[in-house]
Chains A and B, each alone.
Chain A
Amino acid sequence: MFKNLNVWLLASLLVSIGVLIPIFTVFFSFFEDTSSYYQILKDTFLFEYIFNSVTLLISVLILTFLIGVTSAYLVSFYKFPLSDFFKWALILSFAVPPYIYAYSLTAFFENYGTAFTILTNLFGEGEYNRNIPKFDGLFGAVLSLSFSLYAYVYILSRASFLYQSQNLIDLGRNLGFSKFKSFHTLILPAARPAIVAGLSLVAMETLAEFGAVDFFSINTLTTGIYNSWIAFDDLAFSNRLSFFLLIFIFACFIIENFSRKKAKYHFNSRGGFKQKEKITLSGNRSFFAFTFCFIIFFLSFLFPLSQMLYWTIKFPENLFDINIISLTLNTIYLVTLSSLTLILLSLVSNYGNRVSKSKILNFLSTISISGYAIPGIILAVAFITFIAWFDENIVKTLGFLSIKKVFIGSVLGLVLVYFVRFYSLAFNGIKSGYEKINISVDESSYLLGYSKQKTFLNIHVPFLRNSLLFVFILISLEIIRELPITLILRPFNFETFATTAYISASEDLLEAAAVPSLFLILIATVFIMFTSKYILREK
C-alpha cells in the first residue's frame, strides 16, 4: 500500500483533506443542539426564508436565461454595428457585484435620487417622486442579481454556439427550416448542456448571495445564517440553516456537473467541423440586435458605473473620508497572498494527481473542489465552528494556548477560507491547462533523464504559464468582489473596497459607498480586460 506513497501524493492528499474540513463541519454540525431560536424561527420565519430564496432563484434564472442566451445568440451568429465590441463588453457586468448594483439601483430610483435630479434638470421642479418606480425589495434583488450574473449564461452559451458547426446550420437550411425554427429545434438543443451549466452557476451564486439581499432586507436562507450567528450568537443554528441551503446548492452542483459531462459530446470539433460564417444584418434587424445588446450593456455595466462615478463627483468629500491607499494595499495584500497560496498548492495537487494516478486522491480532489458551490457565508461560519471545536477539544486538552485568535479575525483565517472557497477555480484552471499536456510529454521527459521534480519545474510550469496567469487574475477578481467571508473573518480595522462599501451602505450612507464601489468596479474591469482574451477565445 505504501509502495506508491510519494511526496507529491502526500502533499496533494493534505491539500484535499484541508479543503474538505469546513465542508464536512457543516454536515456534522447539523446534528448538534441549537438554542430556542431554532424553534421560534421554525414556527415563524423559516418558511419565509425558503420561499424568498426559491422565488429569487426562479426569477433570476428566467431573467438570466433570456438575457444571456439572446445576447450570446446575436453576437455569435450575426454581424451588426459594434457586434465585435459587444462580444466582450457584455462580460463587463462581472465587474459589478450584485450588492453594488443594488446600491446603484436604489441611488438612482430612490426619492430625490439621481432620476429625480435628471427630471428636475430637464423639466424643472415637480412631484416626480410619486411617478418614479421603486426597484427595491425582492424585485430589486432580482434585477441586481440578474444583471450581474447573466454573463455566466452568456459566456457558456456563446462558447457552445461558437463550436456549433456550420454544418448544423446548413442542415437546417437544407431541410427548409426558417431561422427561428433552426434556432429552437437545432441550435438551442445542441447548446442545452452549456446553458444549463451557466444557469447552474447563476443558481449557486444566487443562493449564496448575501450583500444585495441584505441591503434590500429580504429574508433568505443566507441572511438567516448571518443573522442567527451575528444577532442570536447561535452558531449551531447557523450550521443547520447552512445544511438546508447546501442541499439546494448540491442539487445545482450535480445538475451542472451532469450537464458538463454531456457537453463534451457537443464540443467535438474534429471531423466535419466547419467554421461558422456570421450573417451580416441590415435594416430593422440590425437596429434591433444593436439596441438589445446596447441596452444590456448599458444596464449591466454603464448604469452602475456612471451612477457611482456621478456620486463620487457629486460628493468629492467622500474621496478623502476613506483611505484609498490603505484599501488598495489591503486588497493587494489579500489578493497576492491568497492567489499565490492557491496557485502553488493547486499546482502541487494537480501534479500529485497526475503522477500518482491514485483513485482515492482523484475522488478527494473531485469533492474538495465543491467548495466553490458553498456560499462564502457558510464556509466562514463552518470555519469558525471547526476552529472553536478544535481549540476546545484538542488544543486545550493538550494544554496549549488557545489558537482562536490566530485563525479567527486574522489574515491567516481569511486566506484559509478564501482557499477553500476558490480552490476549485485554481484547481480546475490549472487542470484544464494540464489536460493539454499529453502524458507522453511527461514520459518523454523522464526518458530524457529528467526527474519528476525537474519535469514539473522545467516542462510543466513554463507550459502552464498562461493558465497560471489566467487563474491568478480570476482569483483576484473573485477576492476583490468577495463580501461575506471578508466581512466575517477580517481582522479588526482591516477593510477592503467591498467591506467599506457594504458598511457605508448598511449605515444608509449610499453616497459614501460610491467611492469604494467605483474603485472596485474599475479594478475589476481592468482584470476582466486581461482575462477576456481567454474567456472569449474562439479557437
Chain B
Amino acid sequence: MKNNFLEIKGVDFTIGGKTKVENASFVIENEGETLCILGPSGIGKTTILRTIAGLEKIEKGTINLNGKLLSSKDQNIEPENRNISLAFQDNSLFPHYTVEKNILLGAERNKEKTKKKITFEEIIDLLDISKILKKYPHEISAGEAQRASLARSLLTQPDLLLLDEPLSNVDQSFKEEIQVRLKKILSKLKITTIIVTHDSYEAFYLGNKCAIILDGQIKQFDDPYNVYHFPNSVEVVNFLNRGILIPAKVTGENSLESKDLGTIKGNFIKHYPKGSDVQLLLQPEDLEHDDKSNLKLEVVDRKFRGTNFIYTLKTNSDLLIPVFVHSHHEHQHETDEKFGIKRPINIDHIVCF
C-alpha cells in the first residue's frame, strides 16, 4: 500500500487551550503537491500550520510526514528537527541581521541536501529582492519583508513548506507575477507546500487541492475546480460568495422549475427525486443576457469589474440575482431598467441543496 506524503488523522488543532479545528483529517498524497487552506479570519488556519510545524502540540490524532510520525498525544518531534519551514504572515525576520544574512541563514540548512538545489541568486531573482539585500528588516516595507521571509523559507528546501498568507502584503500589481514565479519554483523543486490564504483565486491558482475550513471543521477538501463549481454545502457557498440559492422544484431527470425564472435545464451533480423542493445554486455566469428575451428582471445595481459587469437583478419574489456580462456588451442597462435573460436557461452542472 502506498503511503501518503502527509497524513493528518483525527487531529484537534488547539492553541492556548482552545480547540480551533476539531477532528480534522486530510492528506497530501504525493510529494511536490500544494494544498491551499481557505477560511475566514480567526478560524484556525494558522493554528494548523503551527501545529504541523511543531510549534503547537496535539492531544488527539496523529500527523505523519513521509511515513514518519511527527506528532501524536505521546510524541512530538521538536520544530528544529522536522525540516519543515514556516513563513509567517507577519515579519519574522531576525531584526539584527540584514535581509541578505537573514536569507542566507536558510541556506545553512540545505547544505547537506542531495536533491536539486536552488541557489541564493535564483531565489533573489525570483522574488525580485536584490535591491533590499543590504537593508535591515525595519528599513523595508511589509511586502518586501514577506518576500524576504519567503526567500529564506524556500532556500531551506524543506520537506514541507508552510506559507501563512505569503503574499498578503505584496502589492496587487506585483502579486500575480509572484504567484506565477512561486508556482514554477515549487513545481521545479518538487517542494510539498501548504498555503494558507484568504484569497480564493490565489488558492485556486496555486493549489492542487483546496481545503475549506468553517465552523471548526474542514467542510470541503477537493480540487480547486470542484470546490468552485461543486461546493458541497450551503456554508461553503456562502463563504465563497459565488452566487445565491433560489427555491426550485425538481421536475425531471435534467430539469427544475423556478417560480421566478421558469424552466431550468442542466445536469444534476446529485440525484433528487422528481417533485423534490430544493435550493438551487445560481452563480453569476449561469445566466445569459438577452435583450430580446421575454424574461425581464429589474436592474437594482451594476458593478464594473474591468473585464465584466455584475448586474444585480430583482425577481418578482424580491430575490436578488447576480449576472455576469462582458464589459464590452452593446446594450448597457441602468438601474431601474429591465434586463432580459436568455431562455431556456441551461446550466452546465446543477448544484442543489
Contact = CB atoms under 8 A, between A and B. Distances in A.
Interface of A: 436-438, 440-441, 443-451, 459, 462-463, 465
B91 A438 contact: yes
B120 to A, nearest CB: 15
A448 B95 CA distance: 16
B80 A451 contact: yes
B276 interface: no
A356 to B, nearest CB: 14
A443 B92 contact: yes
Contacts of A437: 95
Contact of B94 (A444, A449, A451, A465): A444
Contacts, number: 63
Interface string B52-80: 01110000000000000000000000111
Contacts of B79: 443, 446-447
Contacts of A448: 80, 85, 105-106, 108-109, 152, 156
Contact of B80 (A438, A447, A459, A463): A447
Interface centre among A438, A449, A463 (most CB of B within 10 A): A449
Given A438-B92, A443-B79, A449 B55 contact: no
B282 interface: no
Interface centre among B54, B79, B81, B106 (most CB of A within 10 A): B79
Contacts of A463: 94-96
Mostly helix, strand, loop or mixed at chain A's interface?
helix
B92 A444 contact: yes
B162 to A, nearest CB: 9
Contacts of B50: 443
Contacts of B109: 448-449
A446 B55 contact: yes
B11 interface: no
B84 interface: yes
27 contacts: A438-B92, A440-B88, A440-B92, A441-B92, A441-B93, A441-B94, A443-B88, A444-B92, A444-B93, A444-B149, A444-B152, A445-B94, A446-B54, A447-B55, A447-B79, A447-B82, A447-B85, A448-B85, A448-B105, A448-B108, A448-B109, A449-B80, A449-B83, A449-B109, A451-B78, A459-B94, A463-B96
A528 B54 CA distance: 45
B86 interface: yes
In the A-B complex, the 10 residue pairs with the smallest Cβ-Cβ separation, listed nearest first, are A440-B92, A446-B79, A463-B96, A444-B92, A446-B80, A440-B88, A449-B109, A449-B80, A447-B86, A443-B55
Nearest to B91: A438
B90 interface: yes
Contact of B53 (A445, A447, A459, A462): A447
Given A448-B105, A449-B80, A443 B95 contact: no
B105 A462 contact: no
Interface string B133-175: 0000000000000000100100010000000000000000000
Nearest to B137: A441
Contacts of B82: 447
Given A443-B50, A446-B55, A465-B96, 20 more contacts: A440-B92, A441-B94, A443-B86, A444-B88, A444-B94, A444-B152, A446-B54, A446-B78, A446-B79, A447-B55, A447-B80, A448-B85, A448-B109, A448-B152, A449-B80, A449-B83, A449-B156, A451-B80, A463-B94, A463-B96
